[in-house]
Amino acid sequence: MRGTTRCSWCGTVNDPAVSRCFACGVSMDMPLRPATRDDDAWVEYLFSAYLDGRAREVAELVAVHGLPRLHRRPIGDAIKIALAQELTRMDKVHSRIGSGELVLGWTWPEATFVTGAVVYLYEHQRTIRREFVRPAGSRSARVFAHNVRAADDKIVDHAAIQMSLFLQIQKGFIRCERREIPITREDLMP
């Protein structure tokens, strides 16, 4: 077709004036899907996206195709940036305290590269409890509740919550720096 450009990623025909495919959202200069995660053109594209500040795009592509061996550190840094951006967009964490238990509730980010969270319960600069949490069931069920218990089955009323998000890839994961999450507290009636 004259005057159109085909996306090398998904094959959709686009207007040549656009910089991103309207169907898949990938940049029109993206090379073909990689044969392997260490394909030279693929690694070059990811590194270029990192240098251009397209952290979210890097995270989305690595979540699907894996982390290449070359440029692992800068590509990992881009993923940490994208995760941190998602963490700042999260709604407040709601909590209820009762029966020696703290019930936390939040809404998961819509980003598909967020595969879980690490929840830290801390008091006086000391971590009391750390738990890895994954979305339960369907991604469409974004509202989530999680029970946290301290080692001695008591939750201190003035303990605070820190959280970080992670992307699991291959045999490990990449996570952003943890940050304190504002929480609203409700006491459960006995």
Supply the mean pLDDT for the chain. Answer: 76
Is the pLDDT confidence value at 187 over 60?
Answer: no
Report pLDDT for 103: 76
Report pLDDT for 48: 85
Is the pLDDT confidence value at 77 over 80?
Answer: yes
Q: Which two tokens stand for residue 88?
A: 């700042």
Q: Where are the beta strands (DSSP E) in 70-115?
A: 93-98, 101-107
Residues 6+ apart with CB under 8 A from 81: 55, 176
Is the pLDDT confidence value at 79 over 90?
Answer: yes
Q: 104-127: per-residue pLDDT in tens?
A: 778 888 888 998 999 888 877 788
Report pLDDT for 56: 92
Report pLDDT for 2: 45
Q: Where are the beta strands (DSSP E) in the chain?
A: 5-6, 13-14, 93-98, 101-107, 116-123, 126-133, 143-148, 160-169, 172-175, 179-180, 183-187
Q: 128-167: per-residue pLDDT in tens?
A: 788 888 877 655 556 677 776 655 555 555 677 888 999 9
Block residue for tokens 């881009």: 78
Report pLDDT for 81: 94
Give me the domains of the chain, ranges plus CATH numbers: 5-86 (no CATH), 91-187 (2.60.40.10)
CB-based contact 133:146 (threshold 8 Å)? yes
CB-based contact 7:26 (threshold 8 Å)? yes
Report pLDDT for 190: 40
pTM metric for this prediction:
0.72
Separation CA 37–CA 71 (nearest Å): 12
Scanning the chain, the segments in alpha helix (DSSP H) are 40-51, 55-65, 72-89
Q: Which two tokens stand for residue 170?
A: 């291959």
Q: 31-69: per-residue pLDDT in tens?
A: 555 555 567 777 888 888 888 888 998 998 888 888 887
Calculate mean pLDDT across residues 170-178.
87
Report pLDDT for 183: 67
Separation CA 178–CA 87 (nearest Å): 9
Report pLDDT for 110: 81
